[in-house]
Amino acid sequence: MKNFLNGKLTRRALGGVAVAAAAAFALPAMAQDSVKIGLIASLSGPSAKSGEAITRGMALAIDEINASGGVLGKPLELVRRDDEGNPGKGLTAARELIQREGVAVLFGGLQTPVSLAIVPYVNQTKVPFMGPWAAGTPITKNGAEENYVFRVSAVDEMVDVALVERAMTVHGAKNPGMMLINNPWGESNEKGLTAALEAKGLPTAGIERVEANDIDVVPQLTRLKEAGADAIFMVANVGPSAQVMKSLERMGWDVPVVSHWGPAGGRFSELAGPRAKTVEMIQTFTFSGNDSPKAAATLDALKAMFPEIKSAADVTPAVGIANAYDALHLTALAIANAGSLDGPAIREGYYAIDSYDGLIKSYSKPFTPNDQDALGPEDYVFTRFIDGEIIPID
CATH number at residue 91: 3.40.50.2300
Q: Is the peptide bond before 392 cis (omega within 30 degrees of 0)?
A: no
Residue 49: pLDDT band (50, 70, 90) is confident
Residue 268 pLDDT > 90 = no
User: What is the β-pairing status of strands 280-283 and 381-386?
Assistant: antiparallel
What pLDDT sits at residue 10?
39
Same domain, 90 and 138: yes
Mean of the pLDDT values across residues 348-373?
A: 98
User: How far is 129 from 334, CA to CA, in rounded Å?
Assistant: 12
For residue 385, list its beta bridge partners: 390
Mean of the pLDDT values across residues 347-355?
A: 98
Q: What percent of the chain has pLDDT over 90?
A: 79
Least confident span in 10-19, 230-239, 301-310: 10-19
Same domain, 181 and 267: yes
**Structure pTM?**
0.86
Residue 245's domain spans which residues?
A: 156-283
Mean of the pLDDT values across residues 130-146?
A: 95
- In terms of Cα–Cα distance, which of 293, 284, 289, 292 is closest to 321? 284
Same domain, 115 and 57: yes
Q: Is residue 34 part of a domain?
A: yes
Residue 210 pLDDT > 60 = yes
> 335, 105 in Cβ contact below 8 A?
yes
Q: Please name the residues in contact with 377: beta carbons below 8 A apart, sequence gap of 6 or more.
A: 158, 161, 162
Mean of the pLDDT values across residues 136-140?
A: 95
Residue 7 pLDDT > 50 = no
Integer angstrom CA distances of residue 232 from 1, 9, 213: 46, 43, 20
Residue 45: pLDDT band (50, 70, 90) is confident
Q: What percent of the chain has pLDDT over 70?
A: 92
* End-to-end C-alpha distance for the chain, whole angstroms: 39
- Domain end residue (candidates: 283, 311, 329): 283
> 148, 367 in Cβ contact below 8 A?
no
Q: How many CB atoms lie within 10 A of CB 138?
A: 18
Q: Is residue 393 part of a domain?
A: no
User: How far is 298 from 377, CA to CA, in rounded Å?
Assistant: 23
- Domain end residue (candidates: 261, 283, 305): 283
What pLDDT sits at residue 31?
40
Residue 376 pLDDT > 60 = yes
What pLDDT sits at residue 44?
87
- How would you class 9 by CB atoms within 10 Å of its CB: exposed for 0-12, middle for 13-18, buried for 19 or more? buried
The residue among 107 and 313 whose pLDDT is bigger is 107
* Highest averaged pLDDT of the listed ranges 32-46, 206-220, 378-392: 206-220
Same domain, 33 and 145: yes
What pLDDT sits at residue 22?
33
Looking at the structure of the chain, the number of domains it has is 2
Residue 103 pLDDT > 60 = yes
What pLDDT sits at residue 19?
30
User: What is the β-pairing status of strands 389-392 and 381-386?
Assistant: antiparallel
Mean of the pLDDT values across residues 115-130?
A: 98
Residue 139 pLDDT > 90 = yes
Residue 269: pLDDT band (50, 70, 90) is confident
Same domain, 219 and 178: yes
Same domain, 22 and 140: yes
- In terms of Cα–Cα distance, which of 100, 83, 99 is closest to 91? 83
The residue among 65 and 6 whose pLDDT is bigger is 65
Same domain, 212 and 129: no
Mean of the pLDDT values across residues 63-84?
A: 97
Same domain, 268 and 361: no
Least confident span in 93-97, 293-297, 325-329, 387-391: 387-391
